[in-house]
Chains A and B, each alone.
Chain A
Amino acid sequence: MILGIETATTACAAGLAAGERRVESLLASDRRHVEVLVPGIQSLLAAWPATLGDVTRIVVDHGPGLFTGLRVGIATAVALAEATGAELVGVTSLEVYAAEAAARGVTGSVVAVVDGRRGELFAQSFTLGDAVVARDIPRVVRPRDLAEHWAGAAAPVTFVGDGAVRYASDLGAVPGATCLEVAWPSVETAMAIGAQRDPSPVHPLYLREADAVANFPTRPWP
């Protein structure tokens, strides 16, 4: 049985999948990850019915996204994997959004966008056809700059994700653009991706880290 954990946005969700059967539950939508995640997993298991011992694989969204959410989701996933011996698999919020767009029949250029806070987006481009193919790596970008880039590209594009909800006015104004408003990355989709992937250690994807780390070596020390 697969357990899926989603905490990359203000929403907290979890899911279970085994064979053809899958369930997903939105546990809270207002940043109460700490409070609702573990009890939520327990009630999902009880309703199935199953126990933690039945979980053989844990799929966790490791970002990019809401920092305070990700650390709860990832810490919980790592702890449960340690305790149960389940395999641990990470998926990114952005690839889950792209796969969600594909599941809804979108084809062509898709940009997955997660609200990065502080006026920025985490974004990654994909091409959707027979498969979901990443066109670049996840990056931090200003909504205006992303909109300008696609306005210049003059090609149809779909923006998908919570970032497309928050910045619908910037992104939706791009000629030929569609905003697919998906409020949080689907746990079912994450579990489907995670089922196909080799287990590996999972670390939060913060994206801003690479830029910021450069400032530290120059700090004076008393």
Chain B
Amino acid sequence: MSARRCANPADTVAAGRALAAWLVPGDVVVLTGPLGAGKTVFSTGVAAALGVRERVTSPTFTLVRPHACANDRGIVTLYHADLYRVESLDEAADLALGELVEESAVALIEWGERAEALWGPDHWEVRFTIEDDDVRELALTAPPGRAPVTGWAA
């Protein structure tokens, strides 16, 4: 695990772009951290790098929103989910995100740690810490067995 310091929202968007370079179809990314930590801001960076054209906003009320992607990496859909308002595990399980991503998609799941067992051990985690008003620390954990990510903390 390595932490990356983001001094402003633009840095956090850039971190999302950096992570996107490592993603392959089937990947699930759990975004963990307090309200306002920058999980949605980060998601816009991932989406931009995967070629999502539409605006990415918080999917809090819809729980999950699919975005069409345009890239040469076989990632056709980005599922952006937010489990903050999910009332029970059934509701989270009903989204079947782990199965949806399998062949040609990836998922970003804000508050995904609440239903961790649904994703299995093979997922990414980005842990957000609010350092002060504008500074965020983003700690990245890659799925076990994946080639180590280099240059994240730089």
Contacts and interface: CB of A to CB of B under 8 A. Distances in A.
Whether A and B are associated in the same complex: the answer reads yes
A208 B98 CA distance: 12
8 contacts: A67-B98, A67-B99, A118-B98, A208-B93, A209-B90, A209-B117, A211-B116, A213-B89
A216 B119 contact: no
Interface string B52-91: 0000000000000000000000000000000010001110
A200 to B, nearest CB: 20
A162 to B, nearest CB: 14
Given A68-B100, A219-B84, 19 more contacts: A67-B93, A67-B99, A116-B120, A117-B98, A118-B98, A118-B120, A118-B122, A119-B121, A119-B122, A142-B121, A206-B93, A208-B117, A209-B89, A212-B92, A212-B117, A213-B89, A215-B114, A215-B116, A216-B89
Interface of A: 66-68, 71, 116-120, 142, 206, 208-209, 211-213, 215-216, 219-220
A167 to B, nearest CB: 13
B105 interface: no
Nearest to B120: A118
A213 B86 CA distance: 12
A111 to B, nearest CB: 19
B96 interface: yes
B31 to A, nearest CB: 15
A116 B120 CA distance: 9
A213 B96 CA distance: 15
B141 to A, nearest CB: 15
Contacts, number: 59
B123 interface: yes
Contacts of B116: 211-212, 215
B29 interface: no
A129 B89 CA distance: 39
A68 B100 CA distance: 9
A212 B112 CA distance: 11
A68 B118 CA distance: 13
B99 A68 contact: yes
Interface string B106-127: 0000010111111111110000
Contact of A219 (B98, B99, B102, B114): B114
A34 to B, nearest CB: 12
Q: What 9 A-B pairs are tightest by C-beta distance, nearest first?
A: A118-B120, A212-B117, A211-B117, A119-B122, A208-B117, A215-B114, A213-B89, A67-B96, A68-B96
